[in-house]
């Protein structure tokens, strides 16, 4: 992946990702998404690579990964397939993500059934 040169402030990053400023600041504070730089005034500055990293974080969040697990996964993904042990660990993570997604799909199906039942009672 090649580094991109355009930068943005936290407000633009929040707008582009649909996340709150508070969430992005929290991710910075816990080391999950440190700002690429800071302005002379101390404002966080983010790159396109940071935006892409945040997009991956957003994909992991609904699957129930902890902040520590997200950090590990991001490290594994950044290390590439040749990093020692990364493939085996990513296979484990894939299995967990697949299981969580199936669980979510079952929950959505149950919610759809409930909504349909309510709709039939109110029609």
The pLDDT tens digits along the chain (123 residues) read 444 558 999 999 999 999 999 999 999 999 999 988 999 998 999 999 999 999 999 999 999 999 999 999 999 999 877 778 889 999 999 999 999 999 999 999 999 999 999 999 998
Domain membership flag for residue 2: no
CATH at residue 76? 1.10.1660.10
Domain membership flag for residue 68: yes
Q: What is the pTM of this model?
A: 0.84
- What per-residue confidence (pLDDT) applies to 5? 59
Which domain range does residue 17 map to? 7-122
Domain membership flag for residue 37: yes
Domain membership flag for residue 92: yes
Domain membership flag for residue 1: no
**What is the dihedral sign for C-alpha 32, 36, 39, 44?**
negative
Domain membership flag for residue 54: yes
């Amino acid at each position: 992946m090649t580094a991109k040169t355009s930068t943005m402030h936290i407000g633009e990053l929040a707008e582009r990702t649909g996340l709150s400023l508070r969430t992005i600041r929290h991710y910075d504070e816990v080391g999950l998404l440190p700002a690429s730089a800071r302005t002379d005034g101390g404002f966080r500055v983010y790159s396109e690579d940071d935006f892409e990293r945040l997009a991956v974080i957003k994909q992991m969040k609904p699957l129930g990964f902890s902040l520590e697990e997200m950090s590990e996964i991001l490290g594994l993904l950044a290390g590439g397939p040749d990093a020692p042990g990364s493939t085996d660990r990513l296979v484990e993570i894939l299995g967990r993500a697949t299981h969580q997604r199936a669980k979510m799909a079952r929950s959505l199906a149950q919610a759809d059934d409930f909504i349909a039942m309510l709709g039939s009672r109110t029609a």
